[in-house]
A and B are shown apart, each in its own frame.
Chain A
Amino acid sequence: MTLLEQPDPINAAERVFRRGDDSAVLRISEADAEMVETVDIDPLSDEPMIVNMGPVHPSTHGVLRLVLEMQGEQVLRSKPVIGYLHTGMEKTGEQLSYLQGGTNVTRMDYASPLFNELVFSLATEELLGIEVPPRAQWIRTMMCELNRISSHMLFQATNGMDVGAVSMMLYGNRLREETLRILEKITGLRMNHNYIRPGGVAVDLHDGWREDIAGLMDLLPPLIDEFDELLTGQPIFRERLQGVGAINAEECLALGVTGPILRGSGYAWDLRRDMPYLNYDELDFDVIVGTYGDCFDRYAVRLNEARESIKIVQQCMEKMPTGDYRLQDKKVTPPPRARIDESMEALIHHFKIFTEGFKVPEGEVYVAVESPRGELGCYMVSDGGAHPYRMHIRAPSFVNLQTMPHMMQDALVADVVAIISSVDPVLGEVDR
Chain B
Amino acid sequence: MTSLPLAVDPLFVGGVGLEEVLIVALKVGVAFAMLMVSVMLMIWFERKLHADMTNRMGPTITGPFGLLQTLADGIKLFFKEDLLPNDERGDSAIFRLAPYLTLIPAFLIFTVVPIGGDFDNADGKVSWWGNTTQLQIADPPVGILFVLALSSLAVYGIMLAGWSSGSKYPLFGSVRASAQMVSYEAALGLSLVAVLVKSGTLSTHDIVAGQADGWNWNLWMTGFIPFIVFLIASTAELNRPPFDLVEAEQEIVGGFHTEYSSIRFALFFLGEYMNVVTMSAIMVTLFFGGPDGPIPFFESFGWAWGILWFMLKVLAFCFTFVWFRAALPRFRYDQLMDLGWKLLIPLSLGWIVALVALDLAASEGWNRPLVAVICFAGLMLMGTLLNAAVQSGKRKRLAGEGFD
Contact = CB atoms under 8 A, between A and B. Distances in A.
A213 interface: no
B127 interface: no
A59 B328 contact: no
7 contacts: A58-B249, A58-B253, A164-B329, A170-B55, A240-B329, A240-B335, A414-B332
B293 to A, nearest CB: 33
A163 B330 contact: yes
Nearest to A169: B54
B251 A413 contact: yes
Contact of B333 (A59, A73, A162, A164): A73
Interface string A42-58: 00000001010000011
A236 B245 CA distance: 14
Interface string A409-432: 000111111000000000000000
B172 interface: yes
B54 A164 contact: no
B335 A239 contact: yes
A165 interface: yes
B252 interface: yes
Contacts of A412: 332-334
A160 B330 contact: no
B252 A413 contact: yes
Give 4 nearest A-B pairs by CB, closest first: A164-B330, A170-B54, A165-B329, A59-B250
Given A170-B55, A239-B335, A417 B329 contact: no
Nearest to B335: A239
B327 interface: yes
B174 to A, nearest CB: 12
Interface of A: 49, 51, 57-59, 72-73, 160-167, 169-171, 174, 230-231, 234, 236-237, 239-240, 412-417
A171 B329 CA distance: 14
B123 to A, nearest CB: 45
A51 B169 CA distance: 9
Contact of B326 (A162, A166, A240): A166
B63 to A, nearest CB: 24
B198 interface: no
A49 B168 contact: yes
B248 A167 contact: no
A385 to B, nearest CB: 48
A73 B172 contact: yes
Interface string B214-250: 0000000000000000000000000001101100111
A414 B248 contact: yes
A51 B50 CA distance: 33
Interface string B131-147: 00000000000000000
B368 interface: no
A51 B326 contact: no
Contacts of A59: 250-251
B329 A163 contact: yes
B342 interface: no
B172 A413 contact: yes
Q: Of residues A58, A169, A416, which shows the largest number of chain B Cβ atoms within 10 Å of its Cβ? A: A58
Find the residue from B242, B251, B330 having the highest chain A CB count within 10 A. Answer: B251
B341 interface: no
